[in-house]
Amino acid sequence: MRSWIATHPVVAFLVVFAIFPYLVPYKALATQVLIYGLFALGFNLLYGYTGLLSFGHAAYWGLGAYGTGIALAKLKVGSLWLGLAAGLGLAAAGGAVIGFFCLRRRGIYFAMLTLAFAQLLYFVGFHLADWTGGDDGLRGITLPPLALPGVTIPLDTSLAFYYFALALVATAVAALKRILDSPFGAVLQAIRENSERASACGYDTSRVKLLSFVFSALFAGLAGSLDALRLNVVPIESLYWTTSGQVVIMTLLGGAGTFFGPFVGAATFLVLEDRLAVFTESWPLVVGAIFMAFVLFLPKGIWGTLLARLGP
Amino acid sequence: MNRRAFLATTAAGAAVAAFPAILKAQGGDTIKVGFPGPTTGPFGALAKDQQQGASVAMEEINAKGGILGRRLEILFRDDQLKPAVGAQRTKELIENERCEFIVGGLAAHVQMAINEQTKKAGKLFISVSQSDEITARPDWGPLTFHEALNPTITSRAVGNWLAQNLGKKWWILYADYAWGKQNNAVLTEVLKRQGGVLLGSTPYPLGNPEFSAHLPKILAAKPEVLVTMTPGADNIAFLKQAISFGMKKEMKIAQPLHWLPQLKEGGPDLYADIYAGINFSWQLEDAIPEAKNYVALYRKKHNEPPGDYSAYAYSAIHEVARGITLAKVVNSDAVASALIANPVYNHYKGKQWWRACDHKAFQDLWIVKGRERSKMKGEWDFVDIVQKVAASEELDRSCKEKGFV
């Protein structure tokens, strides 16, 4: 079973998430898990597989969200695909520029630079109110119907939107699987284990790191873009450091460096938040305690621990 | 109880606790209203006051037999003052709890995120806090209603009164974000129309209440009135600094709004002689029968007088009930049409009405002035009611200005 999942992760992913909306209390929660899972997946490519800790992933999530939001609400492009492309393009461009500068430093300096760039974008977003809506957030994002060759599907029910998001997220999961299985993916993990050794083997580590950074930003950007379509608004908090913090927590909770860990972490975090918040305002206390317990006692996270227990 | 039965009961209990959806079948007879508000975070006190006002309305309605023979139930949710959380909680209330109506929101950016969800789901939303955009295109939707005052109405009413009664030489100090900027723009326009002089206008970063660099400049300019938009904790920090610079003696100080929870926090030593507008103050119980009823019910349940924002929530819940009773059906479209066809209502402070084009509630407001400690009767008697400003559509932007043809 375990080896089957390991060799067919995309099929396993599709099977679980095809029935997922019926396992949680309501459909919009399932969509939220899917989107934040993708966000964490992108973060995990950089942190779990390349060993680069970014504290500024809000930047790419936010760029994806604003790119799509501005295209649909302000530029009135009217096409779902163009809206998504705008978000992805902006996130990838942001990832390339920010990655180019941040990757010149390592460790804490790298982390702080990513944080600084994200906060910079936050202030730009705050003050460019004509385009971003400033602190009121960007509203008026209409969700165009899904136009495929020969057929147009409206996405205005929660379930329709969920399966649309699932199709895109599954594509992203397949793409990540392909990246990790390629020689490029092996170099990423070589860099994580020993960057000097990887470059001694003749790999251009800075170029590989930058590519990994851009891929990671693309995944995060797609997630942000889908979130803008899901909520029809882009809050300014999308770019704020708390968003970056949330994705770190989800990834560590699920298991950094494991393929499905980020989805498990996102699902655990969001379902707990959703259910606990109905009963108590102190839900962060519970989620925080669980997070700390995992970091202290089971640092491989929920999925990582499960994989280790099941054995090879 | 044997072990097996114990396990079964515990498991069933846990399942019920985890998924209130299971209980849904039993609660099918109630009419559910979802109520998101920031009970955690800097506006927590105001949000709790709103929840308490809404609960008073709910109990009052249920004590009289409910609506169409069904009980009213309000489901409160914490939106953490974050638009994304407000949006998600609204989805949960509509999809999971099957709420047909949403009332709530306590900040412009959160209520507009809630509004996007209710628009998409086709549910009635009555917003109960200030926002200019919510009743203007493109944010407004056919099921969007706005019970609270907005920055335009408040600042026009307060600004007119200040210029006519306290002086026409002003200085404006405002927090540099949406609400501060909107009020600054409206006040500047009001002063110009009143033939006054704006000696200066100072923005400062929200949440960074360090005014000592600005205050000497303002003192030297000798304005008759200093109008300030310093929300939340900034307000208290500002007043402390202004008093230490002796500004209360040199000029009149005013702000668009007083909030009861904030008056309580700052106390009369800070708020004495500070002028502001207010949508409701419990002292109105002496003059208005509906106010007397509301204040008495609220006091009975919560052992303190209601704040100004609780009254919006109280009124909005009653409007949902009135709409359902008129429409004779629990359906957002029908209730919205019924309210617009019968726009006049009066739940707590006199006649109010919905304007047909934008579903804005028009209502009286009052100019109040902070009381000195020695003149307070009881621990909640923070303000003198100076004058009523009668409800008028002239105080808001016109339908055309809001994008309605």
User: Nearest CB to A233: which of B78, B113, B133?
Assistant: B113
Confidence category of residue B53, pLDDT binned at 50, 70, 90: very high
The verdict on whether omega for the bond into residue B138 sits within 30 degrees of 0, i.e. cis, is yes
Closest to A17 (Cα-Cα) out of A32, A6, A2: A32
| Chain-centroid distance, C-alpha A142 | 23
Architecture in CATH of A2-310: Orthogonal Bundle (1.10)
Do B152-278+365-395 and B28-149+290-362 fall under one CATH topology?
Answer: yes
Confidence category of residue B4, pLDDT binned at 50, 70, 90: low
Closest to B185 (Cα-Cα) out of B256, B286, B271: B256
Sequential DSSP letters for A143-192:
---EEETTEEE---SHHHHHHHHHHHHHHHHHHHHHHHHSHHHHHHHHHH
Token digits of residue A124: 């730009």
Provide the pLDDT for residue A29.
Answer: 95
Please answer whether residues B31 and B71 qualify as being in contact, where contact means their C-beta atoms are separated by less than 8 angstroms.
yes
A 10 A CB-CB count for A204 gives: 12
Token digits of residue A76: 């009135």
Q: Give the three-class secondary structure for B290.
A: helix
Sequence-ordered list of residues with C-beta below 8 angstroms from that of A194, at least 6 positions apart, any chain:
none
Q: Domain spans of chain B? A: 28-149+290-362, 152-278+365-395
β-pair partners for B239: none
Q: Residue A212 and residue A99: Cα distance in Å, rounded?
A: 9
Percent of chain B with pLDDT over 70: 93
- Radius of gyration of chain A measured on its C-alpha atoms: 19
- In the predicted model, is pLDDT for residue B77 greater than 80? yes
Looking at per-residue confidence, does A276 or B14 come out higher? A276
Please answer whether residues A36 and A218 qualify as being in contact, where contact means their C-beta atoms are separated by less than 8 angstroms.
no
Please answer whether residues B111 and B105 qualify as being in contact, where contact means their C-beta atoms are separated by less than 8 angstroms.
yes
Q: Residue A192 and residue A51: Cα distance in Å, rounded?
A: 5
Q: Residue A195 and residue A197: Cα distance in Å, rounded?
A: 5
Give 3-state DSSP helix, strand, coil % of chain B, rounded to 5: 45, 20, 35
- In the predicted model, is pLDDT for residue B5 greater than 90? no
Kindly state whether A130 is in contact with chain B, defined as any CB-CB distance less than 8 angstroms: no
Please indicate whether, in this complex, the C-beta atoms of A231 and B117 are within 8 angstroms of each other. Answer: yes
Confidence category of residue A281, pLDDT binned at 50, 70, 90: confident
- In the predicted model, is pLDDT for residue B119 greater than 80? yes
Provide the pLDDT for residue B22.
Answer: 43
Does 3.40.50.2300 match the CATH number of domain B28-149+290-362?
A: yes
Mean pLDDT score across all residues of chain B:
91
Q: Residue B86 and residue A61: Cα distance in Å, rounded?
A: 19
In chain A, what residues touch B138 (CB-CB under 8 Å)?
Answer: 139-140
Please indicate whether, in this complex, the C-beta atoms of A135 and B178 are within 8 angstroms of each other. Answer: yes
Token digits of residue B106: 């306590």
Q: How far A117 CA lies from chain B's nearest CA (Å)? A: 20
Please indicate whether, in this complex, the C-beta atoms of A28 and B77 are within 8 angstroms of each other. Answer: no
In chain B, what residues touch A231 (CB-CB under 8 Å)?
Answer: 84, 87-88, 113, 116-117
Highest mean pLDDT among A131-140, B20-29, B51-60: B51-60
Q: Give the three-class secondary structure for A255.
A: coil
Provide the pLDDT for residue B41.
Answer: 78
Please indicate whether, in this complex, the C-beta atoms of B117 and A275 are within 8 angstroms of each other. Answer: no
Please indicate whether, in this complex, the C-beta atoms of B82 and A232 are within 8 angstroms of each other. Answer: no
Angle at B248 between CA B244 and CA B249, to 5 degrees: 105
Q: Convert the pLDDT of each residue in B320-362 to its tens digit.
A: 999 999 999 999 999 999 999 999 999 999 999 999 999 999 9
Q: Mutate which of A23, A26, A36, A281 to disrupt the B interface (most B C-beta within 10 Å)?
A: A26
pTM: 0.90
In chain B, what residues touch A227 (CB-CB under 8 Å)?
Answer: 84
Please indicate whether, in this complex, the C-beta atoms of B109 and A274 are within 8 angstroms of each other. Answer: no
Provide the pLDDT for residue A21.
Answer: 93
Please indicate whether, in this complex, the C-beta atoms of A281 and B88 are within 8 angstroms of each other. Answer: no
Q: Mutate which of A39, A161, A226, A231 to disrupt the B interface (most B C-beta within 10 Å)?
A: A231
In chain A, what residues touch B77 (CB-CB under 8 Å)?
Answer: 277-278
Q: Give the three-class secondary structure for B42.
A: coil
Window 224-243 of A, Cβ < 8 Å to B: 227, 231-233, 235-238
Provide the pLDDT for residue A312.
Answer: 61
Q: Convert the pLDDT of each residue in A8-55 to its tens digit.
A: 889 999 999 999 999 999 999 999 999 999 999 999 999 999 999 999
Q: Convert the pLDDT of each residue in B256-308 to its tens digit.
A: 999 998 899 999 999 999 999 999 999 999 999 999 999 999 999 999 999 99
Please indicate whether, in this complex, the C-beta atoms of B77 and A27 are within 8 angstroms of each other. Answer: no
In chain A, what residues touch B78 (CB-CB under 8 Å)?
Answer: 277, 281
Please indicate whether, in this complex, the C-beta atoms of B109 and A135 are within 8 angstroms of each other. Answer: yes
Percent of chain B with pLDDT over 90: 83
- B152-278+365-395: CATH class: alpha beta
Please indicate whether, in this complex, the C-beta atoms of A231 and B138 are within 8 angstroms of each other. Answer: no
Provide the pLDDT for residue B25.
Answer: 41
User: Nearest CB to A26: which of B77, B96, B139?
Assistant: B96
- CA–CA distances in Å: residue A211 to residues A51, A116, A208, B175: 14, 21, 5, 42
Q: Residue A9 and residue A179: Cα distance in Å, rounded?
A: 13
Q: Residue A58 and residue A217: Cα distance in Å, rounded?
A: 10
- In the predicted model, is pLDDT for residue A141 greater than 50? yes
Q: Mutate which of B112, B182, B206 to disrupt the A interface (most A C-beta within 10 Å)?
A: B112
- In the predicted model, is pLDDT for residue A302 greater than 50? yes
Kindly state whether A134 is in contact with chain B, defined as any CB-CB distance less than 8 angstroms: yes
In terms of C-beta distances under 8 Å and separation of at least 24 residues, what long-range contacts does B120-124 make, across chains too?
B120/A156, B120/A232, B121/B91, B121/B94, B121/B95, B122/B332, B122/B333, B123/B94, B123/B99, B123/B332, B124/B100, B124/B320, B124/B323, B124/B332, B124/B335, B124/B336
Please indicate whether, in this complex, the C-beta atoms of A134 and B117 are within 8 angstroms of each other. Answer: no
In chain A, what residues touch B137 (CB-CB under 8 Å)?
Answer: none
Q: For chain B, which residues lie within 8 Å of any Cβ of chain A, measuring from their own Cβ?
A: 17-21, 39-40, 77-78, 82-84, 87-89, 91-92, 95-96, 108-109, 112-113, 115-117, 119-120, 133, 138-139, 177-178
In chain B, what residues touch A129 (CB-CB under 8 Å)?
Answer: 178
Please answer whether residues B352 and B362 qualify as being in contact, where contact means their C-beta atoms are separated by less than 8 angstroms.
yes
Q: Residue B299 and residue A30: Cα distance in Å, rounded?
A: 42
Q: Convert the pLDDT of each residue in A152-185 to its tens digit.
A: 999 988 999 999 999 999 999 999 999 999 999 9
Closest to A213 (Cα-Cα) out of A36, A46, A89, A65: A46
Please indicate whether, in this complex, the C-beta atoms of B108 and A277 are within 8 angstroms of each other. Answer: no
- In the predicted model, is pLDDT for residue A1 greater than 80? no
Q: State the ipTM, two decimals.
A: 0.91
Provide the pLDDT for residue B208.
Answer: 85
Confidence category of residue A207, pLDDT binned at 50, 70, 90: very high
Provide the pLDDT for residue B387.
Answer: 95
- As a whole number, mean pLDDT of residues B167-173 equals 95
Confidence category of residue B28, pLDDT binned at 50, 70, 90: low
Provide the pLDDT for residue B328.
Answer: 94
In chain B, what residues touch A62 (CB-CB under 8 Å)?
Answer: none
Token digits of residue B172: 């404006």
- In the predicted model, is pLDDT for residue A266 greater than 80? yes
Please indicate whether, in this complex, the C-beta atoms of A233 and B108 are within 8 angstroms of each other. Answer: no
Q: How many CA atoms lie within 13 A of A37 on its CB side?
A: 28
For CA atoms A71, A73, A75, A76, the dihedral sign is positive
Please indicate whether, in this complex, the C-beta atoms of A137 and B133 are within 8 angstroms of each other. Answer: no
Q: How far A270 CA lies from chain B's nearest CA (Å)? A: 11
- As a whole number, mean pLDDT of residues A202-225 equals 94
- In the predicted model, is pLDDT for residue B179 greater than 70? yes
